[in-house]
Amino acid sequence: MIAATNSWLSGLVPVLALFALAPAARAADAAHPTVIELFQSQGCSSCPPANANVMALANRPDLLTLSWQVTYWDSLGWKDTFAQPAFTQRQYDYARVFNRDNVFTPEVVVNGRSDVVGNDREELAALVRSADRGTGGPAISSTAGNLEISGAAPPTPSHVLLVRYDPSIQQIPIRRGENGGRTLPHRNVVRQVADLGAWAGGTVHYRLPTATNLHLRSIVLVQTAVAGPILAAARV
């Protein structure tokens, strides 16, 4: 386990250096973050490099990184410990938006608008630098479990999604499958997602479900259709 962990850390160093040196197209904007979604599985041997690249971005205040663990690798030797059918469905929804017949891992989707495999550090960095953070989208605010979305009507009705994820780094031993014998790091793993309702413009209020796990952090996405361009995102 120690060897596997050290190997991951040595691979992460050049990733961190790349993103530290790369010039940003826009100043950091924690109020209007870029959303980076990684679809991966513990049973996929191609996923660890993309996972390392996305994890290297996790501390930036202008970015929100999420790891969605999918289920379609579960029958191939190892059942992902975090995967849920709803997460797989989200990736299929993106595939339809991107005019694809199928899904693949790893896949990194940025702001619901563009995607890359994620294993190429420079390609991912370029997409993140050029991403539109949607600063003209609706305003999101929350107080004491009450959520408010306000702004001009979008071209098409949107959905308000609540995503709860684990911010800690977890080292997961993989016993079988393509990654058998490795210990893989996980961070910002999505654990819960809920559709709070539609938003078609104006000021609308929603009630946030009570958190049952206080260790998880929450974000809200205002997203066109079920899986389309993300108009706004905020930590709540």
How many C-beta atoms surround the C-beta of residue 12 within 10 A?
A: 15
Number of domains, the chain: 1
Residue 2 has pLDDT above 60, yes or no: no
What CATH code is carried by the domain that includes residue 143? Answer: 3.40.30.10
- Res. 133 pLDDT band, cuts 50 70 90: low
pTM beyond 0.75: the answer is yes
Non-local (6+) Cβ contacts of 152 within 8 A are 138, 201
pLDDT of residue 125: 95
pLDDT of residue 226: 81
Where is pLDDT greater, at 25 or 86? 86
Alpha carbon distances (Å) from 164 to 18, 64, 95, 143: 29, 12, 23, 17
Non-local (6+) Cβ contacts of 236 within 8 A are 140, 142, 147, 162, 208, 218, 219, 220
Domain coverage including residue 111: 2-235
